[in-house]
Amino acid sequence: MTDRIQTLVIFGATGDLAERLLLPGAGQLVSSGREYLFRIVGVGRDPLSDEDWRERVKRAFRQAGSMTPAAQRIADDSAYVKADVTDPDDLRRVLEACTGMPALYFALPPAVTMQACRALEQLDLPEGTVLVLEKPFGTDRQSAASFNRQLVKLVPEKQIFRVDHFLGESMVLGMLGLRFANRLFEQVWNRDNIERVEIVFDEELALEGRAGYYDTAGALVDMIQSHLLLVLAVVAMEPPPSIDESSVRGAMSQVLQAAEVHGGDPVAFSRRARYTAGIVRGRELPSYVDEPGVRPENGTETLAQVTVGIENWRWAGVPFVLRSGKALGEPRTDITVTFKEVPHLPKGLKGRERPARLRLSLTSDDVELDVTMNGAGNPLELDRVTFTADSGRSELEPYGQVLAGVLSANPTFSVRSDIVEECWRIIEPVREAWDTDAVPLDEYPAGTRGPEGW
Protein backbone atom coordinates (compact mmCIF):
# COMPACT_ATOMS: atom_id res chain seq x y z
CA MET A 1 0.00 0.00 0.00
CA THR A 2 1.19 3.51 -0.73
CA ASP A 3 1.72 6.01 2.04
CA ARG A 4 -1.41 7.82 3.09
CA ILE A 5 -1.89 11.53 3.38
CA GLN A 6 -2.79 12.56 6.91
CA THR A 7 -3.70 16.22 6.41
CA LEU A 8 -5.62 17.74 3.53
CA VAL A 9 -4.88 21.46 3.40
CA ILE A 10 -7.34 23.40 1.26
CA PHE A 11 -6.00 26.77 0.15
CA GLY A 12 -8.93 28.90 -0.97
CA ALA A 13 -11.10 27.18 1.63
CA THR A 14 -13.92 29.72 1.48
CA GLY A 15 -14.07 29.71 -2.31
CA ASP A 16 -16.54 28.17 -4.71
CA LEU A 17 -14.47 25.10 -5.68
CA ALA A 18 -13.93 24.10 -2.07
CA GLU A 19 -17.57 24.51 -1.14
CA ARG A 20 -19.20 23.05 -4.26
CA LEU A 21 -16.84 20.20 -5.12
CA LEU A 22 -13.95 19.51 -2.76
CA LEU A 23 -15.68 19.32 0.61
CA PRO A 24 -18.62 17.27 -0.78
CA GLY A 25 -16.07 15.01 -2.53
CA ALA A 26 -14.18 14.56 0.73
CA GLY A 27 -17.45 13.82 2.56
CA GLN A 28 -18.42 11.21 -0.02
CA LEU A 29 -15.05 9.57 0.27
CA VAL A 30 -15.04 9.20 4.04
CA SER A 31 -18.61 8.00 4.01
CA SER A 32 -17.90 5.40 1.34
CA GLY A 33 -16.60 3.02 3.97
CA ARG A 34 -13.03 3.16 2.69
CA GLU A 35 -10.36 3.69 5.27
CA TYR A 36 -9.49 7.30 4.85
CA LEU A 37 -8.40 9.01 8.03
CA PHE A 38 -7.25 12.53 7.52
CA ARG A 39 -7.54 15.99 8.95
CA ILE A 40 -8.87 18.90 6.93
CA VAL A 41 -7.18 22.26 7.39
CA GLY A 42 -8.94 25.11 5.59
CA VAL A 43 -6.86 28.13 4.70
CA GLY A 44 -8.20 31.47 3.52
CA ARG A 45 -7.90 35.22 3.86
CA ASP A 46 -11.29 35.62 5.54
CA PRO A 47 -11.30 35.66 9.34
CA LEU A 48 -13.16 32.50 10.32
CA SER A 49 -13.22 30.68 13.65
CA ASP A 50 -12.59 26.95 13.78
CA GLU A 51 -16.25 26.60 14.75
CA ASP A 52 -17.48 28.53 11.68
CA TRP A 53 -15.24 26.48 9.47
CA ARG A 54 -16.43 23.18 10.96
CA GLU A 55 -20.01 24.29 10.30
CA ARG A 56 -19.12 24.86 6.65
CA VAL A 57 -17.50 21.46 6.40
CA LYS A 58 -20.56 19.82 7.95
CA ARG A 59 -22.93 21.71 5.68
CA ALA A 60 -20.99 20.57 2.61
CA PHE A 61 -20.91 16.97 3.87
CA ARG A 62 -24.63 17.04 4.60
CA GLN A 63 -25.44 18.49 1.17
CA ALA A 64 -23.50 15.63 -0.39
CA GLY A 65 -25.61 13.29 1.76
CA SER A 66 -22.49 12.13 3.55
CA MET A 67 -22.83 12.69 7.29
CA THR A 68 -21.77 9.31 8.61
CA PRO A 69 -20.03 9.03 12.03
CA ALA A 70 -16.67 8.94 10.22
CA ALA A 71 -17.52 12.15 8.33
CA GLN A 72 -18.72 13.75 11.56
CA ARG A 73 -15.37 12.95 13.21
CA ILE A 74 -13.42 14.45 10.34
CA ALA A 75 -15.55 17.60 10.40
CA ASP A 76 -15.18 17.96 14.20
CA ASP A 77 -11.43 17.59 13.95
CA SER A 78 -10.96 20.10 11.13
CA ALA A 79 -9.33 23.47 11.65
CA TYR A 80 -9.07 26.82 9.93
CA VAL A 81 -5.99 29.00 9.48
CA LYS A 82 -6.31 32.59 8.30
CA ALA A 83 -3.35 33.18 6.04
CA ASP A 84 -1.99 34.96 3.02
CA VAL A 85 -0.75 32.08 0.87
CA THR A 86 1.88 34.24 -0.79
CA ASP A 87 3.57 34.97 2.55
CA PRO A 88 6.19 32.37 3.66
CA ASP A 89 5.62 33.11 7.36
CA ASP A 90 1.89 32.49 7.00
CA LEU A 91 2.60 29.29 5.09
CA ARG A 92 4.91 28.13 7.87
CA ARG A 93 1.99 28.49 10.31
CA VAL A 94 -0.17 26.42 7.98
CA LEU A 95 2.41 23.64 7.87
CA GLU A 96 2.66 23.70 11.66
CA ALA A 97 -1.08 22.94 11.80
CA CYS A 98 -0.53 19.73 9.81
CA THR A 99 0.16 16.26 11.09
CA GLY A 100 1.99 13.61 9.06
CA MET A 101 2.19 13.84 5.28
CA PRO A 102 0.15 16.79 4.03
CA ALA A 103 -1.53 17.31 0.67
CA LEU A 104 -1.60 21.00 -0.20
CA TYR A 105 -4.64 21.56 -2.44
CA PHE A 106 -4.50 24.89 -4.28
CA ALA A 107 -8.16 25.73 -4.90
CA LEU A 108 -7.03 29.16 -6.07
CA PRO A 109 -6.67 31.12 -9.31
CA PRO A 110 -3.54 29.95 -11.21
CA ALA A 111 -1.60 33.20 -10.71
CA VAL A 112 -2.03 33.02 -6.92
CA THR A 113 -1.10 29.32 -6.93
CA MET A 114 2.15 30.17 -8.72
CA GLN A 115 2.96 32.87 -6.17
CA ALA A 116 2.20 30.50 -3.31
CA CYS A 117 4.51 27.86 -4.80
CA ARG A 118 7.25 30.46 -5.07
CA ALA A 119 6.76 31.31 -1.39
CA LEU A 120 6.92 27.61 -0.48
CA GLU A 121 10.46 27.47 -1.90
CA GLN A 122 11.59 29.30 1.20
CA LEU A 123 10.31 26.57 3.52
CA ASP A 124 11.21 22.97 4.28
CA LEU A 125 8.23 20.87 3.29
CA PRO A 126 7.41 17.77 5.34
CA GLU A 127 8.58 14.46 3.84
CA GLY A 128 6.09 13.18 1.25
CA THR A 129 4.19 16.48 0.83
CA VAL A 130 1.81 16.31 -2.11
CA LEU A 131 0.90 19.39 -4.19
CA VAL A 132 -2.50 19.46 -5.89
CA LEU A 133 -3.10 21.98 -8.66
CA GLU A 134 -6.19 22.91 -10.60
CA LYS A 135 -6.36 23.82 -14.26
CA PRO A 136 -5.53 25.81 -16.27
CA PHE A 137 -1.93 24.79 -15.76
CA GLY A 138 0.00 27.65 -17.36
CA THR A 139 -1.28 29.69 -20.26
CA ASP A 140 0.70 27.97 -23.01
CA ARG A 141 3.34 25.29 -23.48
CA GLN A 142 6.20 27.50 -22.42
CA SER A 143 4.62 28.80 -19.24
CA ALA A 144 3.49 25.27 -18.32
CA ALA A 145 7.05 24.00 -18.81
CA SER A 146 8.49 26.76 -16.68
CA PHE A 147 5.92 26.15 -13.91
CA ASN A 148 6.77 22.44 -14.10
CA ARG A 149 10.45 23.26 -13.56
CA GLN A 150 9.53 25.43 -10.58
CA LEU A 151 7.38 22.72 -8.97
CA VAL A 152 9.99 19.95 -9.06
CA LYS A 153 12.20 22.20 -6.96
CA LEU A 154 9.61 21.68 -4.21
CA VAL A 155 8.74 17.98 -4.45
CA PRO A 156 9.39 15.09 -6.88
CA GLU A 157 7.08 14.80 -9.91
CA LYS A 158 5.17 11.82 -8.45
CA GLN A 159 4.02 14.08 -5.62
CA ILE A 160 2.58 16.70 -7.98
CA PHE A 161 -1.09 16.18 -8.80
CA ARG A 162 -2.42 18.25 -11.71
CA VAL A 163 -6.15 17.67 -11.44
CA ASP A 164 -8.33 16.75 -14.37
CA HIS A 165 -11.66 15.73 -12.88
CA PHE A 166 -12.62 14.09 -16.20
CA LEU A 167 -10.06 11.42 -15.35
CA GLY A 168 -12.26 10.80 -12.30
CA GLU A 169 -15.41 10.33 -14.41
CA SER A 170 -16.66 6.79 -14.04
CA MET A 171 -17.13 6.35 -17.79
CA VAL A 172 -13.60 7.48 -18.63
CA LEU A 173 -12.28 4.95 -16.13
CA GLY A 174 -14.87 2.50 -17.45
CA MET A 175 -13.18 2.76 -20.82
CA LEU A 176 -10.23 0.84 -19.35
CA GLY A 177 -12.38 -2.18 -18.54
CA LEU A 178 -14.37 -1.98 -21.76
CA ARG A 179 -11.26 -1.86 -23.94
CA PHE A 180 -8.86 -4.09 -22.07
CA ALA A 181 -11.14 -6.73 -20.58
CA ASN A 182 -13.01 -7.65 -23.78
CA ARG A 183 -11.67 -9.22 -26.95
CA LEU A 184 -14.78 -7.86 -28.59
CA PHE A 185 -13.56 -4.26 -28.58
CA GLU A 186 -9.79 -4.12 -28.27
CA GLN A 187 -9.31 -6.39 -31.29
CA VAL A 188 -11.13 -3.92 -33.55
CA TRP A 189 -9.88 -0.75 -31.84
CA ASN A 190 -7.84 0.54 -34.77
CA ARG A 191 -7.81 2.31 -38.13
CA ASP A 192 -8.82 -0.86 -39.99
CA ASN A 193 -12.17 -0.95 -38.24
CA ILE A 194 -12.90 2.50 -36.86
CA GLU A 195 -14.08 5.34 -39.09
CA ARG A 196 -14.08 8.19 -36.59
CA VAL A 197 -14.20 9.02 -32.91
CA GLU A 198 -16.09 11.95 -31.40
CA ILE A 199 -15.56 13.26 -27.90
CA VAL A 200 -18.22 15.88 -27.25
CA PHE A 201 -19.11 17.95 -24.21
CA ASP A 202 -21.91 20.34 -25.23
CA GLU A 203 -23.45 21.96 -22.17
CA GLU A 204 -26.57 23.96 -21.39
CA LEU A 205 -24.60 25.91 -18.80
CA ALA A 206 -23.46 29.33 -19.97
CA LEU A 207 -20.86 31.66 -18.48
CA GLU A 208 -22.48 31.46 -15.02
CA GLY A 209 -20.59 34.49 -13.66
CA ARG A 210 -17.14 33.11 -14.45
CA ALA A 211 -15.97 35.89 -16.82
CA GLY A 212 -12.84 36.58 -14.76
CA TYR A 213 -11.49 33.16 -15.67
CA TYR A 214 -13.41 32.04 -18.76
CA ASP A 215 -13.05 35.19 -20.82
CA THR A 216 -9.29 34.64 -21.03
CA ALA A 217 -9.54 30.87 -21.45
CA GLY A 218 -12.43 30.14 -23.84
CA ALA A 219 -13.79 26.74 -24.78
CA LEU A 220 -10.55 25.58 -26.41
CA VAL A 221 -8.48 25.88 -23.24
CA ASP A 222 -11.28 25.38 -20.70
CA MET A 223 -12.38 22.07 -22.16
CA ILE A 224 -10.35 20.76 -25.11
CA GLN A 225 -6.83 21.41 -23.81
CA SER A 226 -7.71 20.65 -20.18
CA HIS A 227 -10.09 17.72 -20.42
CA LEU A 228 -11.02 16.29 -23.80
CA LEU A 229 -7.44 15.61 -24.91
CA LEU A 230 -6.97 13.57 -21.75
CA VAL A 231 -10.14 11.62 -22.54
CA LEU A 232 -8.78 11.07 -26.05
CA ALA A 233 -5.56 9.71 -24.52
CA VAL A 234 -7.52 7.11 -22.54
CA VAL A 235 -9.59 6.16 -25.60
CA ALA A 236 -6.59 5.85 -27.92
CA MET A 237 -3.63 4.73 -25.78
CA GLU A 238 -1.91 1.37 -26.14
CA PRO A 239 -2.87 -1.22 -23.51
CA PRO A 240 -0.82 -0.47 -20.39
CA PRO A 241 0.74 -3.53 -18.73
CA SER A 242 -0.84 -2.53 -15.45
CA ILE A 243 -2.96 0.23 -13.99
CA ASP A 244 -0.22 2.10 -12.20
CA GLU A 245 1.09 5.59 -12.53
CA SER A 246 4.04 4.90 -14.76
CA SER A 247 2.27 2.46 -17.14
CA VAL A 248 -0.93 4.47 -17.54
CA ARG A 249 0.69 7.88 -17.73
CA GLY A 250 3.42 6.51 -20.01
CA ALA A 251 0.78 5.15 -22.42
CA MET A 252 -1.19 8.41 -22.31
CA SER A 253 1.91 10.46 -22.92
CA GLN A 254 2.99 8.29 -25.84
CA VAL A 255 -0.30 8.57 -27.70
CA LEU A 256 -0.46 12.32 -27.13
CA GLN A 257 3.03 12.68 -28.57
CA ALA A 258 1.63 11.22 -31.79
CA ALA A 259 -1.38 13.56 -31.82
CA GLU A 260 -1.69 16.74 -33.85
CA VAL A 261 -4.39 18.75 -35.56
CA HIS A 262 -5.72 16.50 -38.34
CA GLY A 263 -3.62 16.81 -41.48
CA GLY A 264 -1.57 19.52 -39.74
CA ASP A 265 -4.23 21.94 -40.99
CA PRO A 266 -5.81 24.01 -38.21
CA VAL A 267 -7.72 26.19 -40.68
CA ALA A 268 -9.58 23.24 -42.19
CA PHE A 269 -9.87 21.27 -38.95
CA SER A 270 -10.85 23.73 -36.27
CA ARG A 271 -13.94 25.86 -35.69
CA ARG A 272 -14.96 28.43 -33.14
CA ALA A 273 -18.10 30.32 -32.27
CA ARG A 274 -19.76 32.22 -29.46
CA TYR A 275 -23.33 32.52 -28.34
CA THR A 276 -25.67 35.41 -28.89
CA ALA A 277 -28.83 36.08 -26.86
CA GLY A 278 -31.28 33.22 -26.64
CA ILE A 279 -33.21 30.89 -24.36
CA VAL A 280 -31.81 27.72 -22.86
CA ARG A 281 -34.38 25.50 -21.15
CA GLY A 282 -36.63 28.47 -20.42
CA ARG A 283 -33.77 30.60 -19.15
CA GLU A 284 -33.15 33.84 -21.05
CA LEU A 285 -29.48 34.45 -21.68
CA PRO A 286 -27.84 37.63 -22.92
CA SER A 287 -25.27 37.51 -25.70
CA TYR A 288 -21.92 36.30 -24.40
CA VAL A 289 -20.42 39.73 -25.09
CA ASP A 290 -23.08 41.35 -22.88
CA GLU A 291 -22.40 39.06 -19.91
CA PRO A 292 -20.98 41.00 -16.94
CA GLY A 293 -17.18 41.14 -16.98
CA VAL A 294 -16.75 40.05 -20.61
CA ARG A 295 -14.41 42.07 -22.85
CA PRO A 296 -15.72 41.65 -26.39
CA GLU A 297 -12.28 42.56 -27.77
CA ASN A 298 -10.91 39.31 -26.28
CA GLY A 299 -12.81 37.50 -29.02
CA THR A 300 -13.41 34.57 -26.66
CA GLU A 301 -15.13 31.52 -28.13
CA THR A 302 -17.81 29.64 -26.20
CA LEU A 303 -17.86 26.71 -28.63
CA ALA A 304 -14.74 25.06 -30.03
CA GLN A 305 -14.18 22.09 -32.29
CA VAL A 306 -10.82 20.61 -33.22
CA THR A 307 -10.23 17.45 -35.24
CA VAL A 308 -7.13 15.64 -34.06
CA GLY A 309 -5.21 12.94 -35.90
CA ILE A 310 -2.93 10.38 -34.25
CA GLU A 311 0.09 9.58 -36.36
CA ASN A 312 0.86 6.00 -35.44
CA TRP A 313 0.15 2.50 -36.83
CA ARG A 314 -3.03 2.07 -34.87
CA TRP A 315 -4.72 5.33 -35.74
CA ALA A 316 -3.19 7.00 -38.83
CA GLY A 317 -5.96 8.72 -40.81
CA VAL A 318 -8.74 8.36 -38.21
CA PRO A 319 -10.31 11.72 -37.25
CA PHE A 320 -10.86 12.31 -33.54
CA VAL A 321 -13.35 15.17 -33.34
CA LEU A 322 -13.19 17.05 -30.02
CA ARG A 323 -15.92 19.56 -29.38
CA SER A 324 -17.26 21.51 -26.45
CA GLY A 325 -19.52 24.48 -26.06
CA LYS A 326 -21.74 26.38 -23.68
CA ALA A 327 -25.36 27.57 -23.78
CA LEU A 328 -26.30 24.87 -26.27
CA GLY A 329 -29.84 23.68 -26.76
CA GLU A 330 -29.31 19.97 -27.05
CA PRO A 331 -26.75 18.95 -24.48
CA ARG A 332 -24.60 16.07 -25.61
CA THR A 333 -21.76 14.68 -23.54
CA ASP A 334 -20.31 11.47 -24.86
CA ILE A 335 -17.57 9.48 -26.52
CA THR A 336 -18.90 8.07 -29.80
CA VAL A 337 -16.91 5.52 -31.77
CA THR A 338 -18.20 4.92 -35.31
CA PHE A 339 -17.01 1.71 -36.94
CA LYS A 340 -16.38 1.24 -40.66
CA GLU A 341 -18.87 -0.33 -43.02
CA VAL A 342 -18.52 -4.04 -43.70
CA PRO A 343 -16.42 -4.88 -46.79
CA HIS A 344 -19.23 -6.90 -48.34
CA LEU A 345 -22.94 -7.33 -47.72
CA PRO A 346 -24.45 -10.61 -48.99
CA LYS A 347 -26.93 -10.04 -51.83
CA GLY A 348 -30.45 -10.78 -50.72
CA LEU A 349 -30.21 -8.86 -47.46
CA LYS A 350 -32.56 -5.98 -47.98
CA GLY A 351 -31.94 -2.47 -46.75
CA ARG A 352 -28.78 -0.66 -45.94
CA GLU A 353 -26.14 -1.72 -43.49
CA ARG A 354 -25.27 1.17 -41.25
CA PRO A 355 -21.95 1.18 -39.44
CA ALA A 356 -21.95 0.04 -35.83
CA ARG A 357 -21.60 2.77 -33.25
CA LEU A 358 -20.58 2.67 -29.62
CA ARG A 359 -21.59 5.54 -27.38
CA LEU A 360 -20.48 6.13 -23.80
CA SER A 361 -22.08 8.98 -21.92
CA LEU A 362 -19.70 11.24 -20.04
CA THR A 363 -22.33 12.42 -17.57
CA SER A 364 -24.56 9.41 -16.96
CA ASP A 365 -24.15 5.64 -16.74
CA ASP A 366 -25.43 4.92 -20.24
CA VAL A 367 -23.59 2.83 -22.77
CA GLU A 368 -25.21 2.21 -26.15
CA LEU A 369 -24.15 0.01 -29.01
CA ASP A 370 -25.97 0.51 -32.32
CA VAL A 371 -25.75 -2.44 -34.69
CA THR A 372 -27.46 -3.47 -37.91
CA MET A 373 -29.57 -6.62 -37.59
CA ASN A 374 -32.42 -8.38 -39.27
CA GLY A 375 -35.45 -6.43 -38.24
CA ALA A 376 -38.93 -7.38 -37.20
CA GLY A 377 -41.34 -8.40 -39.96
CA ASN A 378 -39.19 -9.51 -42.86
CA PRO A 379 -36.24 -11.34 -41.32
CA LEU A 380 -34.08 -10.58 -44.35
CA GLU A 381 -34.59 -6.87 -44.03
CA LEU A 382 -31.88 -4.97 -42.16
CA ASP A 383 -32.75 -2.70 -39.32
CA ARG A 384 -31.05 -0.66 -36.64
CA VAL A 385 -30.95 -2.16 -33.17
CA THR A 386 -29.51 -0.52 -30.07
CA PHE A 387 -28.17 -2.46 -27.11
CA THR A 388 -28.32 -0.22 -24.08
CA ALA A 389 -26.74 -0.75 -20.71
CA ASP A 390 -26.53 1.06 -17.45
CA SER A 391 -22.93 0.59 -16.54
CA GLY A 392 -23.55 1.40 -12.89
CA ARG A 393 -21.96 4.53 -11.68
CA SER A 394 -19.03 4.70 -9.33
CA GLU A 395 -20.10 5.53 -5.79
CA LEU A 396 -17.80 8.56 -5.98
CA GLU A 397 -18.39 11.71 -7.99
CA PRO A 398 -15.33 12.86 -9.97
CA TYR A 399 -13.96 15.04 -7.15
CA GLY A 400 -14.35 12.18 -4.68
CA GLN A 401 -12.32 10.08 -7.10
CA VAL A 402 -9.72 12.85 -7.47
CA LEU A 403 -9.37 13.06 -3.68
CA ALA A 404 -9.13 9.28 -3.39
CA GLY A 405 -6.02 9.49 -5.60
CA VAL A 406 -4.60 12.42 -3.65
CA LEU A 407 -5.16 10.92 -0.20
CA SER A 408 -3.60 7.62 -1.15
CA ALA A 409 -0.74 9.55 -2.78
CA ASN A 410 -1.43 7.69 -6.03
CA PRO A 411 -1.03 9.98 -9.06
CA THR A 412 -2.13 7.47 -11.76
CA PHE A 413 -5.09 9.59 -12.82
CA SER A 414 -3.56 12.98 -12.35
CA VAL A 415 -1.81 14.76 -15.19
CA ARG A 416 1.97 14.35 -15.46
CA SER A 417 4.16 17.31 -16.46
CA ASP A 418 4.99 16.05 -19.97
CA ILE A 419 1.32 15.29 -20.64
CA VAL A 420 0.15 18.79 -19.81
CA GLU A 421 2.86 20.20 -22.07
CA GLU A 422 1.76 17.89 -24.93
CA CYS A 423 -1.83 19.11 -24.57
CA TRP A 424 -0.67 22.71 -24.95
CA ARG A 425 1.50 21.74 -27.95
CA ILE A 426 -1.43 20.08 -29.73
CA ILE A 427 -3.63 23.18 -29.59
CA GLU A 428 -0.82 25.65 -30.37
CA PRO A 429 -1.42 25.76 -34.17
CA VAL A 430 -5.15 26.22 -33.56
CA ARG A 431 -4.53 29.23 -31.35
CA GLU A 432 -2.19 30.70 -33.95
CA ALA A 433 -4.80 30.24 -36.71
CA TRP A 434 -7.47 31.84 -34.50
CA ASP A 435 -5.22 34.73 -33.46
CA THR A 436 -4.72 35.69 -37.10
CA ASP A 437 -8.45 35.27 -37.83
CA ALA A 438 -7.68 32.53 -40.36
CA VAL A 439 -10.68 30.77 -38.80
CA PRO A 440 -13.80 32.95 -38.45
CA LEU A 441 -15.50 33.42 -35.09
CA ASP A 442 -19.02 32.19 -35.88
CA GLU A 443 -22.12 32.87 -33.81
CA TYR A 444 -25.05 30.80 -32.57
CA PRO A 445 -28.10 31.85 -30.60
CA ALA A 446 -28.04 30.43 -27.07
CA GLY A 447 -30.35 27.42 -26.91
CA THR A 448 -29.60 26.18 -30.43
CA ARG A 449 -27.33 23.30 -31.46
CA GLY A 450 -24.60 25.67 -32.63
CA PRO A 451 -23.95 27.68 -35.78
CA GLU A 452 -25.80 26.80 -39.00
CA GLY A 453 -23.85 24.44 -41.17
CA TRP A 454 -21.45 23.08 -38.53
Out of 198, 202, 215, 222, point to the residue binding ligand BG6 (CB under 6 A): 222
Nearer to ligand BG6, 205 or 438 (CB): 205
The backbone torsions φ and ψ at residue 90, rounded to the nearest 5 degrees and listed phi first, read -65, -40
Nearer to ligand BG6, 208 or 311 (CB): 208
Amino acid occupying residue 117: C
Nearer to ligand BG6, 222 or 334 (CB): 222
- Site string (178-197) toward ligand BG6, x via CB under 6 A: --------------------
Which position's Cβ is nearest ligand BG6? 222
- Of 361-400, which residues contact ligand BG6 (CB under 6 A)? 398
User: Does 203 help bind ligand BG6 (rule: CB under 6 A)?
Assistant: yes
The backbone torsions φ and ψ at residue 338, rounded to the nearest 5 degrees and listed phi first, read -105, 125
| Count of other CB atoms within 10 angstroms of residue 184 | 11
Phi/psi zone of residue 282: left (φ > 0), alpha (ψ -120 to 50 degrees), beta?
left
Out of 205, 267, 345, 380, point to the residue binding ligand BG6 (CB under 6 A): 205
Report in angstroms how near the CB of residue 274 gets to ligand BG6 at its nearest: 14
Candidates 165, 227, 262, 344; catalytic one? 227
Nearer to ligand BG6, 398 or 451 (CB): 398
User: Does 202 help bind ligand BG6 (rule: CB under 6 A)?
Assistant: no
Report in angstroms how near the CB of residue 203 gets to ligand BG6 at its nearest: 6
Report in angstroms how near the CB of residue 48 gets to ligand BG6 at its nearest: 26
How far is residue 72 from each of residues 46, 62, 297, 401, measured CA to CA in Å?
24, 10, 49, 20
Which residues 6+ apart lie within 8 Å of 450 measured at CB? 202, 273, 303, 325, 328, 444
Residue 269 near residue 276 (C-beta atoms within 8 A):
no
Helix (H, G, I), strand (E, B) or coil at 126: coil
Nearer to ligand BG6, 7 or 225 (CB): 225
Nearest to 362 by CA among 336, 385, 337: 336
Q: How many residues bind ligand BG6 (CB under 6 A)?
A: 4
Radius of gyration of the chain (CA): 23
Nearer to ligand BG6, 75 or 171 (CB): 171
Report in angstroms how near the CB of residue 207 gets to ligand BG6 at its nearest: 9
- Residue 2 CA to its chain's centroid (Å): 25
Residue 199 near residue 169 (C-beta atoms within 8 A):
no
Pairing of strands 382-390, 278-280: unpaired
User: Does 260 help bind ligand BG6 (rule: CB under 6 A)?
Assistant: no
Nearer to ligand BG6, 203 or 215 (CB): 203
How far is residue 26 from each of residues 16, 170, 176, 305, 318, measured CA to CA in Å?
15, 17, 25, 34, 40
Report in angstroms how near the CB of residue 283 gets to ligand BG6 at its nearest: 16
Report in angstroms how near the CB of residue 234 gets to ligand BG6 at its nearest: 16
227 in catalytic set: yes
Report in angstroms how near the CB of residue 132 gets to ligand BG6 at its nearest: 15
Give the number of C-alpha atoms closer than 13 A to the C-alpha of residue 291, restricted to the C-beta side: 24
How far is residue 40 from each of residues 60, 134, 214, measured CA to CA in Å?
13, 18, 29
- Site string (411-430) toward ligand BG6, x via CB under 6 A: --------------------
| Catalytic (active-site) positions | 227
Binding residues vs ligand BG6 (CB under 6 A): 203, 205, 222, 398
